[in-house]
Amino acid sequence: MWKVFAFLLLCVCGAYARVSAGDIRYFLWNGRANREELRINQYGNNIDRNAPVKILIHGWTESIDSFWYGGARTAYVGTGANVIAIDWSRHAQLTYPTAVGRLSDIGEFIAQFINGLVNSQGISINDVHLVGHSLGAHLSGFTGKALRNNFRTTLGRISGLDPAGPSFTTSLSRNRLDSSDAARVDTILTDAGLSGLGINRSLGHVNFWPNGGSAVQPGCLYYPCSHNRAPRFFNEGITSRRFVARRCGSYSNYNLGLCRLNPQNLLGEFTDFSTTGDFYLSTRRTSPFAQG
Ligand SMILES: *[C@@H]1O[C@H](CO)[C@@H](O)[C@H](O)[C@H]1NC(C)=O
């Protein structure tokens, strides 16, 4: 009899669970693999165990066809890294509040995926780097929290690309991306403020405020161009060391030259996490964006 109950319980919970493991899909690119689908505890034979793992997480309304995945993938594969692009469109394409409410559950599954990956491949968790845009930045944070809470392990790095503002402006650290979610957390803010899609807060150890960090970013004509500038800058910074930023109190002080002698940092892959704080820089209007 108890078996029947257990079976019914599983069916009922399964049917009503908001998020299940198969909803989230993982695709691998590197020197050997080209869009190979991986699953939790099914990692295939193509992961390069001697290379870092870069995990891309898109934002609201997006999918594996996200506008910035191609550029990030090409740049990182060129450096020899493993790139795993996540598709969470099954939930990302629901209403904004619904998607926000599911981030924690989705993060638990991505954490399971990462924990299985590092254990089966003998890769250091410190070499795992999540790059998330908008809601994907907060989803990266929830993944880091789940790795810590469920597996007692600390993710290497999160790059939060214009972390979403709506619903998060006044959130406590447990409900959003936070610097405690990985050993190293950097953010790039390009649409900060109440009328923007990005958050106006320094959530990372190192926070970059290109052109002041809010709309309208140089060269932007159409909404949501400013919000989407963060991944475009980051993609260029995967291989470029020309996004030189200065620690400063504000963009106006930066422009007045008051921070010229302050410590510098590099937006993109080569960020120095021993120099923390808020960093300002100006960019060009079109690609290549770095001024050098
Ligand atoms: C961001 O917040 C600061 C105060 O912390 C404020 O001075 C600034 O105007 C805000 N930026 C935008 C674009 O709203």
Assess if residue 13 is contained within a domain: yes
Tell me, what's the pLDDT at 6? 52
Tell me, what's the pLDDT at 16? 59
Q: Which residues pair with 246 in a beta bridge?
A: 264, 280
* Weakly modelled stretches of the chain, pLDDT under 70: 1-16
Annotated active-site residue in 66, 89, 134, 202: 134
Annotated active-site residue in 91, 129, 205, 227: 227
Q: At what angle do helices 96-121 and 135-151 cross, to 10 degrees?
A: 50
Cβ neighbours for 276, distance < 8 A, ≥ 6 positions apart: 205, 206
Tell me, what's the pLDDT at 4? 46
48 flagged as catalytic: no
Tell me, what's the pLDDT at 13? 47
227 flagged as catalytic: yes
Cβ neighbours for 180, distance < 8 A, ≥ 6 positions apart: 144, 173
Per-residue pLDDT tens digits for 200-229: 999 999 999 999 999 999 999 999 999 999
Q: Residue 197 belongs to what domain range?
A: 2-281
- Which segments of 92-150 are extended strands (E)? 128-133
Assess if residue 291 is contained within a domain: no
CA 63 / ligand 1 centre spacing (Å):
31
Q: Which strands, in side-by-side order, build the sheet including 277-281? A: 34-38, 25-29, 82-87, 53-57, 128-133, 157-161, 184-188, 206-210, 277-281, 244-247, 264-266
Rounded Cα distance between 207 and 185, Å, is 9
Instruction: Give the number of the atom of ligand 1 that is nearest the alpha carbon of residue 192.
Output: 13
Q: Please, what's the b/e burial string for 127-144 (b: 16 or more CB within 10 A of its CB; e: otherwise)?
A: bbbbbbbbbbbbbbbbbb
Assess if residue 188 is contained within a domain: yes
Assess if residue 244 is contained within a domain: yes
Assess if residue 9 is contained within a domain: yes
CA 212 / ligand 1 centre spacing (Å):
10
Distance between start and end Cα atoms, the chain: 71
Tell me, what's the pLDDT at 103? 98
Structural domain count of the chain = 1
- Sign for the CA dihedral angle at 102, 21, 121, 32 comes to negative
**In this structure, what CATH number is given to the domain that contains residue 261?**
3.40.50.1820
Assess if residue 207 is contained within a domain: yes
Tell me, what's the pLDDT at 245? 98
CA 231 / ligand 1 centre spacing (Å):
22
CA 94 / ligand 1 centre spacing (Å):
30
Rounded Cα distance between 132 and 167, Å, is 17
Assess if residue 292 is contained within a domain: no
Assess if residue 251 is contained within a domain: yes
CB 204 within 8 A of CB 271: no
Around ligand 1, the residues with Cβ closer than 6 Å are 192-194, 200, 214
Three-class SS of residue 43? coil
129 flagged as catalytic: no
The residue contributing the CA closest to ligand 1 atom 12 is: 193
Query: Which of 175, 172, 165 is CA-nearest to residue 213?
Result: 165
Instruction: Give the number of the atom of ligand 1 that is nearest the alpha carbon of residue 213.
Output: 13
The residue contributing the CA closest to ligand 1 atom 2 is: 200
